[in-house]
């Protein structure tokens, strides 16, 4: 049985200790921060701890706005070591962890990718341990620059398209590109089965990709646009970050002989048909060379004023029209000169196939249209005109492989 006096003595000692601490705390609370009226709590507890910003230093500073993408993100401690660092990027309503690593014996953390994203918020949480084992934590945020100027690339062909073997991947940029190498590095074009694919710049706002020869049927091509935050010109940054694919269908290459007034259509190397055509008249000859089907229209309007021929024609219902060049060359149905195909060249530079008003699948033009894909190749020979320019439509096949490769910006 415990002695009641022992319990009383222990209770009294505990009460005295509590009163002692209460007195010290009360005295500290009643003192000024400079200690002129007695000892402060920091003295009682062994000294004021360092502020978190002194123990853990984070750059950019907490609350900074409009941080430029080349500003380094860094977490460091003058002494001790970093125990953990967590950085999250919030962009387009999505949160993503920012990979990084601690180095320098535990004194510094840097991101694996030193470049900051534009128009994003960064949140940094760091924990450090000093030489005595005390842990400190710091939480900061900053936001990056929202640029006034952006650029995008308009891509041909479309996502998930099935195209002919002559398709060239072409990007038309909304702004002139000054740093072409940076933009080129941010675009990846790959194929399965693998084949070498090289880029070629046409001026400052167009970048095309192709292999040495036409694609093999069945090839799946993947285009990765990693243009977001890439600086294409001073103060002008890319906006896109996406990947898309297209599939190469069967091979169809058609040979137009402007002198013989015929077109040989070959499917997978075999002759499918020989079709009568009419090409450009002597005063408006058709380009020679390889042209790729860029667009297909069941019916379209053709007005000579849009291609520099004044008021010579305006046909509101041209059937079965396949666009071949940016300058206005088409292969299309012709119902207004039914005696011309196979006999005489009467067009303003286009290739015409016999058709009827309104179009019909039973005509040569309708038959060919129904068997065509965007990306098919149509080559013109024996015309008294120059070779079509490589940048006129998807005419890059008219350039040799060595010259094509020389047009890349990354050396």
* List 200, 320, 348, 350, catalytic entry: 350
User: Which residue carries 């084949």 as its tokens?
Assistant: 195
Q: How far apart are the C-alpha atoms of 48 and 170, rounded to whole Å?
A: 65
In this structure, what token pair is assigned to residue 241?
A: 């970050």
Name residue, tokens 């380009």.
Answer: 287
CA atoms of 254 and 267, how far apart (whole Å): 9
Annotation marks residue 350 as catalytic: yes
Block residue for tokens 């690339």: 153
The conformation of residue 325, written as its DSSP 8-state character, comes to -
Does residue 60 have a cis bond before it (omega within 30 degrees)? Answer: yes
The verdict on whether 332 is a catalytic residue reads yes
Give me the phi and psi of 401, to 5 degrees please: -65, -40
One DSSP character per residue, 144-159 reads B---SEEE-EEEES-T
Catalytic residue among 200, 261, 332, 348: 332
Q: Cα–Cα distance between 187 and 155 in angstroms, integer?
A: 11
Beta bridge partners of 302: 315
- The span from the CA of 78 to the CA of 81, in Å, is 9
Q: Tell me the torsion sign for CA atoms 157, 159, 164, 166.
A: positive
Q: In this structure, how many other beta carbons lie within 10 angstroms of the beta carbon of residue 130? A: 16
Measured CA to CA, the distance from residue 75 to residue 102 in angstroms comes to 9
CB 40 within 8 A of CB 28: yes
Active site residues: 332, 350
């Amino acid at each position: 049985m415990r002695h009641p006096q022992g319990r009383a003595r222990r209770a009294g000692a505990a009460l005295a200790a509590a009163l002692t601490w209460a007195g010290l705390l009360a005295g500290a609370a009643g003192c000024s921060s400079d200690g002129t009226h007695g000892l402060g709590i920091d003295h009682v507890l062994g000294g004021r701890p360092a502020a978190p910003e002194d123990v853990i230093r984070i750059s950019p500073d907490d609350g900074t706005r409009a941080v430029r993408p080349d500003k380094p993100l860094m977490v460091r401690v003058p002494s001790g070591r970093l125990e953990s660092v967590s950085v999250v990027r919030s962009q387009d309503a999505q949160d993503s962890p920012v990979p990084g690593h601690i180095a320098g014996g535990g004194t510094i953390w840097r991101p694996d990718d030193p470049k900051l994203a534009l128009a994003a918020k960064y949140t940094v949480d760091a924990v450090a341990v000093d030489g005595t084992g005390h842990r400190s934590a710091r939480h900061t945020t900053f936001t990056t620059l929202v640029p006034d100027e952006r650029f995008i690339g308009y891509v041909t062909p479309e996502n998930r398209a099935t195209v002919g073997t002559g398709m060239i991947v072409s990007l038309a940029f909304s702004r002139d590109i000054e740093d072409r190498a940076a933009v080129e590095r941010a675009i990846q074009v790959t194929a399965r089965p693998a084949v070498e694919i090289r880029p070629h710049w046409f001026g400052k706002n167009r970048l095309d990709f192709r292999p040495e020869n036409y694609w093999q049927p069945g090839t799946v091509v993947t285009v990765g646009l990693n243009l977001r935050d890439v600086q294409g010109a001073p103060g002008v940054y890319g906006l896109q970050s996406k990947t898309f694919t297209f599939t190469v269908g069967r091979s169809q290459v058609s040979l137009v002989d402007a002198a013989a007034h015929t077109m040989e259509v070959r499917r997978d190397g075999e002759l499918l048909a020989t079709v009568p055509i009419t090409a450009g008249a002597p005063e408006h000859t058709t380009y020679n060379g390889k042209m790729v089907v860029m667009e297909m229209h069941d019916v379209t309007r053709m007005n000579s004023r849009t291609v520099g021929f004044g008021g010579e024609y305006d046909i509101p219902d041209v059937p079965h029209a396949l666009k071949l060049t940016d300058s206005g060359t088409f292969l299309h149905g012709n119902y207004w000169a039914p005696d011309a195909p196979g006999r005489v060249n009467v067009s303003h530079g286009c290739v015409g196939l016999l058709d009827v008003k309104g179009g019909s699948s039973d005509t040569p033009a309708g038959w060919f249209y129904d068997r065509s894909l965007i990306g098919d190749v149509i080559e013109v020979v024996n015309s008294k005109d120059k070779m079509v320019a490589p940048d006129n439509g998807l005419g890059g096949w008219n350039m040799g492989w060595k010259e094509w490769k020389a047009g890349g910006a990354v050396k």
